[in-house]
Structure 1
Amino acid sequence: MSQLRENPVAVAIVLAALLMGSQAFAVDATAQNSTLRDRVGGGNIVTHLTGAPTAQMYQALRGVGAKLGRVNSYGWRDLDRKPTPRNFDAAMREAHRHGITPIILLEYDGSYQFLERPQPIGSYDDWFAAGQVLSRRFRPNGEWARENGIYGWGATVFTAINEPDVLANIPRDDYRDALAGFADGVHSIDATLRVVPGGFATCNSAADATLRGYGPAIAGLLEDGRLDGIDLHTYYNAKWYPLTRGREFSAQTCFDRVKAAMALKRDINFYATEFNVSRDGAWEDPNLAARLFLTAFWDEVGVVGSDGKRSATVLALPWNLGDTGRFEGPGYAMAASEAPWKPDSRAKTLRTVLALAGDMTFTALDVRAGRFTLENDSAQLMVWQDLPGWTETPGTVWEVQLPEWAERAELWGWDGKRRDIRVSAGKAVISGLAGNETYMLRLPKPRR
């Protein structure tokens, strides 16, 4: 325990694990004052799987100190398009037992219509019924919670139709009507619940800001508020989406381009149910992937709204925390081993960030300068994206304006604490940086 007393980040990791335990806590990731931890999680927690894959994901979420899990179902309705909400029951019990707040995703793939018994996307009325049934059952204090004697816990974010722009074989008008019905059904039960279209892939993968036409198709639903925001999947890749070439290859850039393509006037929210740095090709080295992951993480959680200041990110879920590469190959696998789960280098970086700043909230965001500030009662954290194209003044020296109470500082990078620094009120000049990476400066608040 002496080592823990000397290392506040280690203490934070232990406390986070103890607090998460087997008890579930209500998390509202949509609140503007939500902490960083409230916005981070993982998926998929698929309803038709039991045993090792699901257990592995919960070990991973607990291991990094995250609170959210995307729970997705392929069996949420029958072949006659009638909702079968109890398909989620077991997954909800498991999520509650592990202290993870569910983000519900209804899967639909346009290829289903080509099966022996076709499953067309369905009408507005079909999706309205689904929205009503699922939200009535799984919202906080809903039917499922009351049946299980649970208070203050449930799903507040409901999403549908993941990556429609990949196969792009769902008619755009039918897609819009489905989401309109789903949103109206959910909101007929509880107007405070959030409805979001399932994530889109092609701004990232094909530089298509129209998302194969699916973005403009739902622009009206985003404008009138029935849809809370847009979910963009971002896979940073050395060849196809190289963040090393600047903010042109960022979540913020895609978010802004997609909104412009839809000609939106309303300031919508940003969701990221999948993102990661691909550990392959020129980025195969695990340490390089972890270093770039830190930049990617702050890109995702640091997305701002139209005024350039408002925090727009509701949630950011790395893909895939639980996989060792056995299921989808090594590129995005963030587990070094199974049973027990052990983190790879990127997951270790995520664990470090959440230990440092998981219980902090944003107090300032300046994307153009690549600088963010977060704070809680015990410390302040300053973040600098010190890479060419991510900040106005990349280099080996970081000039920081400090609060009056500052007495000491800790410089952190992707691999942990780099050094302790004696500071005083005013400007600190931190020299001798290697540059070309993201840095974090933690300022512990003096005890009074």
Structure 2
Amino acid sequence: MIRCFIILFLLASLKSFGQCNIPQNTFANNVYFFSAQVNWNVVSGAHHYKIRYKEIGTSPWSYKNNIDSTSTSRVLNNLSQLTSYIWQIRAHCDTISNFSNWSQVDTFYTTTNICPTPNNLTTSNITHMSAQANWDLLPTAHRYKVHYRILNTNTWSNLSLINGNSDSTNIPVLQQNTTYEWQIMAFHDSTLNMGSLWSQSDTFTTSTFIPAPFNPIVNTSLGSTICNSPSSLLVEINQVTNEPDIDNSTITTDGGYFDIGSVNTGDSVGYASYNSTTQNINSTLRAGLIVGPNYAIINSFDSNGDLIGFFAIENTSTGVRVSTTSPNDGNNYTTGYTSQVNFTNLFITPNVSGNLHIVIDIESELNDQIYYSDTVFIQCPSAIYENINSNQIIETYDIYGRKIIAKKNTICINRLNNGRVTKQVVIE
């Protein structure tokens, strides 16, 4: 009785599996160096499909699971170039155990003659930390991919995909005095399936890094030198290639104040710019957090409205202070630039005549420190203005107080129409 039950169970199981048909008419097309499309006919009643594939002569299979039941093709990516593969597919007619046997084995070989490889590789503009990779354009290329590594090592580093109209790109963040190799491949479609083979390697050696001394050139200026008046406050800094990067800087004065009480959050209070061989950035300075009349954060926004930095401004017991910290780019040295910061009419000059001292303290990322000092003379004009041509003599007297007519070689006392009295000697 037990034996009959087992036989009936096996027959029922075989009947159940037999209800899920094996996919037919399997074939591969659109085969390239790194991808291939596999195809089959729809199986009636299929819930989903499963594909397995591998290089011929190897043991482990790779799988594509849960392929939609309405699909009749699938692209296999990340294949090895110039390699023979086998693949099979089976249908799953439910989510549990009702699936077909694997289909007949189909094969394909990853090669193509319609995906040419870039050639004529050269390297230029080699420095201690970067190099420019160059190649000939391919008319059918949609994207390029470049990878590079230290010569005789195993690990490649990849750059971001490059537009098909470009014939060069920069390889950054390299080690000094080191030999590298690089290669390039082309993708000839937007889906990145039609990739070429990698090119032959080109090699280059980076130069030895020679740092420049930390010596930023600083210039300051005021828009007005009239006392107790609104003025722009401009600071310009220049650094040459290979100087240590600036970490933080502080600007102080021994007079004047910031009219923080006159601005609201979001108000424009000036501009900033940064210009180098690789970047040109113009930004707007806007009031951010305002903490009373003597302290505020000034935010810097680029042309896209993105926050790229900020300054702290404050009024002190003797004048003003501006402080900022530069973002660290990871290499501690600059490629050279000119930057400007201009607070427009936010600074109020001192209310007395005399010298105004502007001091800038700058510290590098390597802890170098320099001080810069500039002196501006602030002038308070006299409150009394005279127009000499408008003064008229209405009466003239001699030294005894007698009214006379002015004569030559005589001391005359003149009374003017503005109430003033002058003494005059006319000499022949």
TM-score (norm 1): 0.16
Higher relative contact order (CA 8 A, sep 6+): 1
TM-score (norm 2): 0.16
Larger relative helix fraction: 1
Rg comparison, structure with higher value: 2
